[in-house]
Amino acid sequence: MATLSPRKAAAVLAALTATVTLGGATTASAGTDHARPQPKLASVKGAASFMLPFSPDDDVRSFSFDAQAAPYSKPLPGIPTGLPTDARGTVKVSHYFAAEGVTHTAEGTVDCLVTGPRTATLTAVITKVSPGGPDWKGKRLGFSVLDGGKDNGKGGSKDRVGFSWAVNNLVPQGDKEPTMAEVGTCMAPAPYAPVTKGGYTVEHAELPLIPKK
């Protein structure tokens, strides 16, 4: 078996190192090309109507979101930096009651947003409710979104939404009627309701590090 001279051995090692390095770079680039671009701040935008799978009636329910992350912008007692999930923006809720021919609406100010790839949960404190609407003013409501893409091939979205009232967030009271629990920041159920018209866009960003003192 032939033995390489020290000079030839060094040359072979250098060539192998270059090949591995270039191969790794090529693989990394290929992966990056197919990844979704990562924005600096997370956001949820869009408007859509949806159907409740447990109550598919003629009522039309819709949400619109215009929310963007604003990390560490809202100091709290004991948390002077604020939180990485701090956010700003607006939420609008519309519910048309077919039997009554009435639409109730509500608007809220976003206070929390957290995302994952194509998913988000956000909360908003309600500031306006239409006359005769639910007793929501001053309360925090939770929402979840799945950004399923632009089209399902039948003219509709694959998106889904969830929200913190109706069949969620109940506190059993034994023999008494259950009560609704208070909603904490960024708390919402899974997006269980399929969108029937419109859609949402979720831009995911990792939560930023706590600011240095």
Q: What is the DSSP letter of 153?
A: S
d(CA 31, CA 94): 41
Q: Which residue has the higher pLDDT, 54 or 57?
A: 54
- Reported as a single tens digit per residue, the pLDDT across 75-125 is 999 999 999 999 999 999 999 888 788 899 999 999 999 999 999 999 999
- Reported as a single tens digit per residue, the pLDDT across 8-32 is 444 433 443 333 333 333 333 444 4
Task: Please provide residue 13's backbone torsions phi and psi, each rounded to the nearest 5 degrees.
Answer: -60, -40
Q: What is the pLDDT of residue 20?
A: 33
Of the chain, the end-to-end C-alpha distance in Å amounts to: 64
- The closest of 57, 44, 93 to 199, measured between CA atoms, is 44
pLDDT at residue 5 is higher than 70? no
Q: What is the pLDDT of residue 35?
A: 56
Q: What is the pLDDT of residue 87?
A: 98
Number of neighbouring beta carbons within 10 Å of residue 5: 9
> CA Rg, the chain, in Å?
25
- The closest of 44, 46, 48 to 68, measured between CA atoms, is 44
Which of 35-44, 54-63, 124-133 has maximum average pLDDT? 124-133
- Reported as a single tens digit per residue, the pLDDT across 175-208 is 988 887 889 999 999 999 999 999 999 999 999 9
Q: To the nearest 10°, the Cα dihedral for 93, 94, 97, 101?
A: 150
Using CB atoms within 10 Å of the CB of residue 200, give its burial: 0 to 12 exposed, 13 to 18 middle, 19+ buried: buried
pLDDT at residue 33 is higher than 70? no
- Confidence class for position 212, pLDDT limits 50, 70, 90: confident
Contact call for residues 69 and 86 (beta carbons, < 8 A): yes
Q: What is the pLDDT of residue 170?
A: 78
Q: What is the pLDDT of residue 120?
A: 98
CA angle 207, 37, 90 (to 5 degrees): 55
Using CB atoms within 10 Å of the CB of residue 113, give its burial: 0 to 12 exposed, 13 to 18 middle, 19+ buried: buried
d(CA 170, CA 110): 22
pLDDT at residue 61 is higher than 80? yes
Work out whether strand 87-97 and strand 60-69 pair parallel, antiparallel, or are unpaired.
antiparallel
- Confidence class for position 151, pLDDT limits 50, 70, 90: low
> Tokens standing for 136?
């929501």
Q: What is the pLDDT of residue 153?
A: 56
Q: What is the pLDDT of residue 154?
A: 61
Contact call for residues 50 and 193 (beta carbons, < 8 A): yes
Contact call for residues 114 and 121 (beta carbons, < 8 A): yes
